[in-house]
Amino acid sequence: MKLFVYILTFLFSFFAKSVEINDDIVLAFKQNKASEVSKYFDEKVNTKIIHQEDVLSKSQAEANLKYFFEKHSVKNFVNIKTNTVNTTLYYLTGSLETNNGKFKVTLMLRRNLIAQLRIEQEND
């Protein structure tokens, strides 16, 4: 019985932390804060922002996201879905509304760090 309680506690703490990180990332997107989003970047981030795709360092990815936020002022960001693949990998998908249109944002988080960031024009 104790083993069951320990396993349950471990699983709950893992998922609770993921939810907390998701909330922080969503808030950072809503507030146009590239520096806050970049706190969760891995050392290398696979990025695709509109049509520019590359593998960038943490600081380069932050600079590109900051540039995007300067050109596309955020009106709202809504977390649509979080898919858990396994204990160390999950995806967060959201809808980003800016002054220049709507975008689909997909983040792949590995070990609670953003390993992939995709911002693509949303088709209406």
- CATH code for the domain of 15: 3.10.450.50
Mean model confidence pLDDT for the chain: 85
Structural domain for 99, as ranges: 2-121
Residues pairing with 74 in the sheet: 98
Q: In total, how many domains does the chain have? A: 1
- For 61-84, give the DSSP string: HHHHHHHHHHHS-EEEEEEEEEEE
Note whether 98 and 91 are within 8 A (CB).
no
What is the pLDDT confidence band of residue 17, given thresholds at 50, 70 and 90?
Answer: very low
User: What's the pLDDT at 124?
Assistant: 53
Note whether 57 and 42 are within 8 A (CB).
no
Average pLDDT over residues 49-53: 93
